[in-house]
Structure 1
Amino acid sequence: MAAPARWYKQENVSRGGALFAEHCAACHGKRGEGAFTWRQLGADGKYPPPPLNGTGHAWHHPFRVLGGQIKSGAPGGQGNMPTFGDRMSDEEIVDVIAWFQDRWHDEIYAQWWQIEQRSKQ
């Protein structure tokens, strides 16, 4: 399957990288690698930060879900993801998503793109 063109521009990725380093890297790792034990419940009963670099499940979620989780935090107490809607604008959240999606291999991005298109139907 040929990968579709990426939706973002390099400017989004550049801005997103700085924002990711400031707001996200402490938990998700500086390259978006996530916690080694991200699939296992922690002692607090919540999941550790997942990878965002294409090796986890972030690509299973359409854009609105990715943005919503950044803005509003982990759904239903599933993780310790805090809300960032009070710290980042919607445009900055878009840039962060561009940064981590830029790390995805073309095959992963193509699969995400199909999920994204189905979510709009």
Structure 2
Amino acid sequence: MRIVAILIVSATTAFADHELEGRNIVEGGTLYAENCASCHGAKLEGQPNWQSPDANGVLPAPPHDETGHTWHHDNALLFEYTKFGGKAALATRGIPDFNSGMPAFEDVITDDGIWDILAYIRSTWPEHAQQAQASRNPPH
């Protein structure tokens, strides 16, 4: 019975995480360094006081390492947030007034490049965070 449960969890994780499987992690790391590190940190550490809005009401860039909340979100939201920018991505999910400083990268990074960056970020997390994030994705 235990083996069956392990196989079901493994299959669900692999199935639910397909957008990030087989990606170019090296390219993702390079794209991250070129486009993301200036705000989110070279070591994915984010900006200081990232949970407190600045004087303009904008939250600083969060960490993408295990200490942040990136791994709490599904693949689709992470992709949309990167491609369309934070405010636009959350507005489509019914949160129109979120004051995000995250710009849109749709004219800067290809869709494959965004997926490579997300796969790179995920590759830095410990196994438990990777599994928790994968469980947030709907099976396809």
Q: Give, in angstroms, the shift of residue 54 of structure 1.
A: 2.1
- Find the aligned partners of 1:64 and 1:19 in 2 and give their Cα distance: 19
- Find the aligned partners of 2:39 and 2:57 in 1 and give their Cα distance: 17
Task: Check if 1:97 corresponds to 2:109.
Answer: no
Q: Give, in angstroms, the shift of residue 53 of structure 1.
A: 1.3
What are the ranges of 5 or more consecutive residues in structure 2 without an aligned counterpart? 1-5, 88-95
- Find the aligned partners of 1:104 and 1:35 in 2 and give their Cα distance: 18
Root mean square deviation of aligned Cα: 2.2
What are the ranges of 5 or more consecutive residues in structure 1 without an aligned counterpart? none
Percent identical: 32
- Find the aligned partners of 1:33 and 1:79 in 2 and give their Cα distance: 18
- Find the aligned partners of 1:83 and 1:99 in 2 and give their Cα distance: 19
Figure out how many residues of one structure are paired with residues of the other and give that number. 118
Task: Check if 1:112 corresponds to 2:124.
Answer: no
TM norm structure 2:
0.76
Q: What residue is the counterpart of 1:78 in the other structure?
A: 99
Task: Give the structure with higher Rg (CA).
Answer: 2
Q: Give, in angstroms, the shift of residue 120 of structure 1.
A: 4.2
Q: Which 4+ stretches in 1 moved above 2 angstroms?
A: 1-9, 75-78
